[in-house]
Amino acid sequence: MYLFYRNDMSEVQKLTAKLKNHFNEFIANVKTENEETRAAFDLLLRASRKELVDKEGNYRKLTEKEKEEIRQQAGDVLKMLGLTSLTLLPGGTLVLILINVFRLNDHLLPSSFKKVKKH
């Protein structure tokens, strides 16, 4: 009886550790997304105030690379809003599970939440 109980507790501890790891990973991803959004917003704000300058001190416009970063970050913000609203709706958790099952993460998750594949 004690051995059976000990094995069950071991499984519970493993599950708890796994959930903690996932939660910590989620929080780290949210922080990364927040930093990326702040950087993009700051860049956009500086451009609108004509505070972007080149090496000579002259006003410059956004580069194509900077425009692409802002566009991508705006998309990530919309994805975060969509995922947040899904979790608040009844059955939203089921939808998130289905998204994972059908491997739609690449299309629906912000960039900081995507797993980097190791080769």
In a domain, 45, yes or no: yes
In a domain, 34, yes or no: yes
| Position 100 confidence tier, pLDDT thresholds 50, 70, 90 | confident
Q: What local confidence, expressed as pLDDT, does residue 26 receive?
A: 85
Rounded Cα distance between 108 and 102, Å, is 11
Rounded Cα distance between 49 and 59, Å, is 10
- Would you say 29 and 112 are in contact if contact means Cβ atoms under 8 Å apart? yes
In a domain, 118, yes or no: no
Q: How do residues 43-56 score in pLDDT, each as one tens digit?
A: 999 999 999 988 89
In a domain, 119, yes or no: no
For residue 8, the enclosing domain spans 2-113
Q: What local confidence, expressed as pLDDT, does residue 8 receive?
A: 66
Q: How many domains does the chain have?
A: 1
In a domain, 55, yes or no: yes
Q: How far is CA 72 from the centre of its chain?
A: 12
| Position 31 confidence tier, pLDDT thresholds 50, 70, 90 | very high
